[in-house]
Amino acid sequence: MEIKFFKPFGPSVLKAKIPNELVDKLNSYTDQIIEDSQRKKVLDHGKKLVGDVTQEFLLEQDFAMKSGWANFLGSCVQQWIKIEIQKPIKRFEMIDSWIVRQFKNEYNPIHWHGGHVSGAGFLKVPKNLGDHVQNKDTHYSGGSLNLIHGSRQFLSKSTFEIKPQVGDFYFFPSYLMHTVYPFKGNDEERRSISFNAFIDEEIHNVYSSKS
């Protein structure tokens, strides 16, 4: 029996692996910001984001370029779009990229981003995120990233749960709703990184297509 898998509905998601060297650079950069009260204050991004978390701050554009972070994002988005719609993008303009420092009992409510494409990945993950209260054998979602689209129907799930793993990065359309549930565990940090970017308007704006 020959079978093929089709994804005729719903937005696509691309998973990529951040190179270990780049993960180290991002964590080292983050640790430097944490220790520098002045830079931490200047780069604070928490008031513009919805998360109820310890700290969120912007990456400086110069660092994003020189570290290779912007190039990693641009290259992955280029491959993603070409695979998905067989069209090369000519524009990748990063709007912003930021670090999210989340600890136990903190969370990110359901939200979406600006721009055309977005993504989120993991730089640090606690060894223990906790257990379900009533039944320890029950699946526990604390600390997971959940992508949300549409509503639950026959043969159509509305959520996609992502267990955080250091170095994993997920790209998705900026309109895709997502959330991070609070976790328990110990006092270790769950550190993630996100971004927003513009691509070619004629590719993004499907409503202007003649087809």
Chain segment 79-106, per-residue pLDDT in tens: 999 989 999 999 999 999 999 999 999 9
pLDDT of residue 132: 82
pTM above 0.75, yes or no: yes
With a cut of 70, say whether residue 7 has pLDDT above it.
Answer: no
Average pLDDT, the chain: 92
Range in 4-13, 113-122, 148-157 the model is least confident about? 4-13
With a cut of 60, say whether residue 184 has pLDDT above it.
Answer: yes
Per-residue DSSP letters for the chain? --------SS---EEEE--HHHHHHHHHHHHHHHH-HHHHHHTB-GGGS--BSSEEEEPPHHHHHHTSHHHHHHHHHHHHHHHHHS---S-EEEEEEEEEEE-TT-BEEEE--SSSEEEEEEEE--S-----SS-TTS---TT-EEEE-S--BTTB-SEEEE---TTEEEEEETT-EEEE----SSS--EEEEEEEEEE-HHHH-GGG---
Segment 101-112 shows an average pLDDT of 96
pLDDT of residue 26: 98
Range in 5-14, 51-60, 124-133 the model is least confident about? 5-14
With a cut of 60, say whether residue 1 has pLDDT above it.
Answer: no
pLDDT of residue 159: 92
Instruction: State what percent of residues in the chain have pLDDT above 90.
Output: 78
Structure confidence by residue, pLDDT tens digits, 50-74: 999 999 999 999 999 999 999 999 9
Domains and CATH numbers, the chain: 14-198 (2.60.120.620)
With a cut of 80, say whether residue 9 has pLDDT above it.
Answer: no
With a cut of 70, say whether residue 211 has pLDDT above it.
Answer: no
pLDDT of residue 135: 76
